[in-house]
Structures are given as C-alpha cells and as structure tokens.
Amino acid sequence: MQSLNSLWESKNYRIAFVIALCSILWMLSGLVISSDSEEANREVKAEDKLTTVQVQRLKSEPYALQVRVRARTQAHRMVDVRAEVEGRVARQPVDKGAKVKIGDSMCEIAMEDRKLRLDEAKAAVQQAQLEYDGALRLKSGGYQSKTAIAGAKARLQTAKANLQRSELDLANLNVRAPFDGVVDLRPVELGDYMRKGDTCARVIDLDPIVLAGQVSETEVARLAVGGEAHAKLRTGEELTGRIRYIGRESNSVTRTFPIEVEVDNADGKLLAGITSKLVIPVGAVDAFHIPASLLTLDDDGKVGVRIVDETKVVQFYLVDIIGNDDDGVWVLGIPESSLLITVGQEYVAKGEKVAYKFAGTKNAEQAASL
C-alpha cells in the first residue's frame, strides 16, 4: 500500500495515469460515435428508399356559393288575339313589330250586312214591345189570357237578345290589343277571310323580361322567391333581377324544377328567346381551391385527394366539389393546413410512408425545415 502511495506521489506516474485514462475514454467515445453514425446511416438509407412526393400546404379561402342555371329570355306575357266574329279583313292599322297600347285596333273586319241586321233587330224590339204593351192593356180588361201575355213577353226578350247580339258583333269587328306590348306575329293580310277563333295577331309584353330555366332537385331548396339573381346573355348583356317564381313540382323526366327571374326592360332593348346563364348567390363558405387534375378515386369510386399527415403517411380524404372555374375546383372536406400531394400521387397509396418536399426545394431534408 505504501509503495502505491509513493508511486502516486511521483509526478511522472500521475501524468502517465491521466494519459492512459484519456486514451481509454477516447477509444470508448469512438465506439459510441460509430454506433450513432451507423444508426444515422441506416435511417438515411431507409429515407432514401421512401417515395418522394411534392406537396403544397393548403389554406382555405372564402368562396361564394352559387347556383348556376342555363336559361332563356322570354316575354312576361304573350297572347294570340283571335277574332270573335267571322268576315273579311278590311283594315290592319298596325304592322308586325309595332308597339301597341291596350285597346288599339289590330284587325278590322268588314261591316258587310251587320248594320242592316242591327237595324232589323231594333225594329223587331220595337214591334215586340208594342205587342207586349197591347197584351197588358187587354189583360186589364179581361180580354187577354196569361198564355198570350207570356208569349208576347218571350218574343220581346228574344228581340232584345238579338239586338244585343248584333251590337256585340259590331263591337267585335275591331280586334283590339289586350295590353301594352309589341305585335310579334300577324298571320293574316288585308282581304283574308277570318273565321271565329282565327288569330289576328300575337302581342307580347317584354317589360319586364323573364329568364326561365330549370333547377336540379338537389339545389332548388337553396333558392327563395325574391332572391337576387345575376344573368349574362349570349349577346353580352349582364343583368340583375329577382326570382319571381319557383316551381312546386319537378319534371317527371328530368327531375328539375322551373324557375323564373324577372328583369326590368322598360326601354324594350332586351329580346325574348336569347340563351343566358343565371348565377344565383346562396351564401359563402371557407373552401380549398385545387387543380382538378389532383382529384382521384378510391376503391369505391368516390372522389377525393391524397395528403401527407404529420407522420409522413399518405391519407385519402373524400371531398365535396362545390364549384369550379378555369383554374380548378373548389372543395370541402380537407383539414386546414394539410399537405396536399401535387406531384407523385399516382405512385403512392393510402397508409404508405413517404418523403416529401415543397415546390421549389431540392430535397426532403430542406422541406422538413419549412
């Protein structure tokens, strides 16, 4: 024991001991570092074996929900004005395309012998009135039976009815406009013979103009009468109006509901029969805008997208497509800030672990720091 103490007291032995101890620690640290390095190399090799995909971090944006409808402009109302008496067309005061006011004459049928028949009916009424008055005087003297008096009264009433019919025929010689509008059709010409019920002219009312279309059964519940609607006509005009009518029963074949939007047309510039697109706002929602090419199908044929979760595992999310434009589609159903696979999604499957990088980065190590 004393010899060890004496050796420790020697400076040279102490230095040799420290050097030996440091050498042992250095060799041990080499083993640890080598083990750590091997583990890191194994991880790098495993990372190299993973499929690398490119991702984009998603951020929701406000999206205005809309119902889009194909429609056509049509007249507010339209009537085929028909003759109520027959005869030859003697006069046509208005031309096709002319504006008319309510009560304006559009076709005038020839008088012919109707004036004579009116005079005859008036004379028949006078005669029947005299006969009836005479029968009443005879009744007071007891010289006339009740049957005779009843017959005289019936003849008087018949004569009066014939007179009213003649007066009505004369009044109906002029076929008049039922409301303010435009003469859109005039199938008869001067000198044509019109029978009762034949069309003299068609009058259309274009103020307001109506845009009529069909709404699918999945969207009709989102609309309401009085709601605002925007339209763009094939001719380029952009209009704003209000929904005035929504059908209560769907078409049995197309399962769509009729809808009408009313637009002011006081100047009459808008015409009927023009194709248009209706856009009806129905609220707003936060949604994601993605390229349509990134949509894919699962094993059940449902539409969705592939994303990478926080553990670098591929997940599949079903989406609801709520709109589209020239740059892509608007969808719901994806968590906020998800990493959407934009390149390489066709090479990976749900549940697979992957390496990923963002657009503009060189490798997955750089992407992991973003």
Give the chain's end-to-end CA distance (angstroms, integer).
64
The whole-number mean pLDDT for each consecutive block of 10 residues of the chain, a chain of 370 residues, reads 52 64 65 51 58 91 90 94 91 89 91 85 87 77 72 87 87 90 90 91 93 93 93 92 94 93 91 93 91 89 92 93 88 92 88 86 45
Give SS3 for 343.
strand
Q: Which residue has the tokens 């005299």?
A: 130
Measure the CA–CA gap between 324 and 327, rounded to whole angstroms.
8
Closest by CA to 206, choosing from 324, 330, 97, is 97
- pLDDT for the residue 341: 92
DSSP code, position 51 = P
Q: What residues contact residue 259 under an 8 Å CB cut-off, 6+ apart?
A: 69, 71, 212, 213, 214, 215, 220, 223, 243, 245, 246, 247, 278
Give SS3 for 9.
helix
In contact, 104 and 176? CB cutoff 8 Å: yes
DSSP code, position 148 = H
- pLDDT for the residue 306: 94
CATH number of 52-63+285-368: 2.40.420.20
Q: Within 13 Å of residue 11, how many CA atoms lie on the same side as its CB?
A: 0
- pLDDT for the residue 10: 59
Closest by CA to 200, choosing from 365, 85, 39, is 85
- pLDDT for the residue 205: 93
Give SS3 for 263.
strand
Q: What residues contact residue 123 under an 8 Å CB cut-off, 6+ apart?
A: none
CATH classification of 81-202, choosing from 3.90.1150.10, 1.10.3720.10, 2.40.50.100, 2.40.50.140? 2.40.50.100
In contact, 224 and 122? CB cutoff 8 Å: no
Closest by CA to 228, choosing from 67, 71, 61, is 67
Measure the CA–CA gap between 349 and 328, rounded to whole angstroms.
23
Count CB neighbours of 45 within 10 A: 9
Q: Within 13 Å of residue 36, how many CA atoms lie on the same side as its CB?
A: 5
Measure the CA–CA gap between 246 and 163, rounded to whole angstroms.
48
In contact, 343 and 54? CB cutoff 8 Å: yes
Domain residues of the chain, as ranges? 19-49, 52-63+285-368, 68-76+205-284, 81-202
Is CATH 2.40.30.10 the right assignment for the domain spanning 68-76+205-284?
no
In contact, 219 and 67? CB cutoff 8 Å: yes
Looking at the whole model, is its pTM more than 0.85?
no
What six digits make up the tokens of 172?
């109906």
- pLDDT for the residue 359: 74
Measure the CA–CA gap between 204 and 198, rounded to whole angstroms.
18
